[in-house]
Amino acid sequence: MNKVCLVGYGNTKFSRENISIDSLLLSATKSLFEQNTNLNQKDIDAVIVSTNDNTKYLAAILSEIAGIKPKIAHTVESLCNSGANSTVSAYSYIASGLAKVVLVVGAERYDSPGQILDWDKSRGEFKHPIFWGSIFTKSHKRKFGTTEEELAIVSAKNHKNAQENPHAYSHKNYTVEELLNSKKLTEDLKVSDCSRSCTGASAILLASEDISKKFSSHPVKIKGIGQKTVSAGFTKNANFSCMQSTVDAGKMAYEMAGIKASDVDVAEIHDAFTVCELMALEDLGFVSHGKGAKYVKNLFDTENRKINPRGGLIGSGHPLGATGIAQIIEILQQLQGVAGKRQVENCKVGLVHNMSAAATSSTVLLLES
């Protein structure tokens, strides 16, 4: 099996702008080429597009408008973790020898159809994500005594981290008090507890390790991959204070990489809602169950950027298909030591956690410099 490295990236600013999906894909691709001057269109064997947009044939469209004639071109859709899923596909093409260099581009519009899963009839009329977010939050509060203030701290930390992220949707800073006073959506969720759907695009380049130095002086290895889908329907989650797909995906990734949670120096966590960050930290073994809030408060008090240094989904915005790619870019920059003001000192091992549809499916990637 060929070893696989991340060797390049292209970013765009997240916004609420009305931009067509092909323009979004092209802008992230253009940014990637501009930052990787050794890369030629002819080098690219596969183009994978990550999106929930309904437009067909996007990987071929992107290839044409970017002057690429790849062997493999297709879209990957898996709601909010389309990004990590497409990266797993790219990894597999390189590992198997089918491709040497793969371009993965994620993009989404603010009005994405990927926010609601119509198929899930068991949710009745409560289909909007705020309802599963409320159920998770209520359940975590009930089981571990999690408070509204502890949830507000997650949001405050991620908004604060996003201030140094030039591509974040918003650069507003909030005090914990301001967030505690933000509009209540349900008994258990405030506006400040939610990530917001937006417009954005992100691109990464993967290459076989033997040629990775051609594209980057600091290639970053993909050491571990874990993926688990427990169901499609939200109500099938065994319980609502723990995300089983995340537990399972984490275990697989740690085992493949020979890495423990305590070895991880920096992580991007899928904070669709504030409670998801706490649950994921617990489910991925950073802390034991019920201790996530204390851990995050300590990060916030000490201005430690270890978790969600770019601001997570809450701070940066959540353009569904681009989110997983943007998370990977952040960890890639951190491990390359080029994250600027967001830089976590001496980081060698990074983790990406991307999930979809009320944690029914999770992907965990472990990266090493």
Partner 1 sequence: MNKFESELKKGNFIISECSDCKEIVWPPSNYCNKCFGHVKWRKPSEIGKLIEFSKKENVNFCIAEFEEKIRIMGTLIGEIISPKIGQRVKLKKCGLNDGQFNFTMALI
Contact residues for partner 1 (CB under 8 A)? 118, 120-126, 130-131, 134-135, 137-139, 142, 185-188, 233-236, 240
Kindly tell me which of 188 and 265 has the beta carbon lying closer to partner 1. 188
Cα separation of 267 and 316, whole Å?
15
Kindly tell me which of 122 and 304 has the beta carbon lying closer to partner 1. 122
Contact 175, 332 (CB under 8 A): no
Q: What is the 3-state secondary structure (H, E, C) of 143-203?
A: HHCCCHHHHHHHHHHHHHHHCCCCCCCCCCCCCHHHHHCCCECCCCCEHHHECCECEEEEE
Residue 357 CB, shortest distance to partner 1, in Å, is 14
Residue 88 CB, shortest distance to partner 1, in Å, is 25
**Burial status of residue 177 (CB atoms within 10 A of its CB: 0-12, 13-18, 19 or more):** exposed
Kindly tell me which of 23 and 122 has the beta carbon lying closer to partner 1. 122
Residue 234 CB, shortest distance to partner 1, in Å, is 8
- Of how many residues is the chain composed? 369
Contact 344, 359 (CB under 8 A): no
58-65 and 21-35 helices, crossing angle to 10°: 50
Contact 307, 277 (CB under 8 A): yes
Range list of H helices, 165-224: 176-180
Residue 189 CB, shortest distance to partner 1, in Å, is 8
Range list of H helices, 227-273: 244-257
Residue 157 CB, shortest distance to partner 1, in Å, is 24
Strand ranges (DSSP E) for the chain?
4-11, 46-50, 72-76, 101-108, 200-208, 220-229, 266-268, 349-356, 361-368
Q: How far is CA 280 from CA 140, 170, 174, 250, 318, in A?
A: 12, 24, 23, 10, 17
Residue 131 CB, shortest distance to partner 1, in Å, is 7
Kindly tell me which of 187 and 345 has the beta carbon lying closer to partner 1. 187
Residue 232 CB, shortest distance to partner 1, in Å, is 9
Kindly tell me which of 28 and 358 has the beta carbon lying closer to partner 1. 358
Cα separation of 314 and 316, whole Å?
6
Kindly tell me which of 35 and 186 has the beta carbon lying closer to partner 1. 186
Kindly tell me which of 142 and 172 has the beta carbon lying closer to partner 1. 142
Residue 242 CB, shortest distance to partner 1, in Å, is 13
Kindly tell me which of 138 and 270 has the beta carbon lying closer to partner 1. 138
Contact 14, 110 (CB under 8 A): no
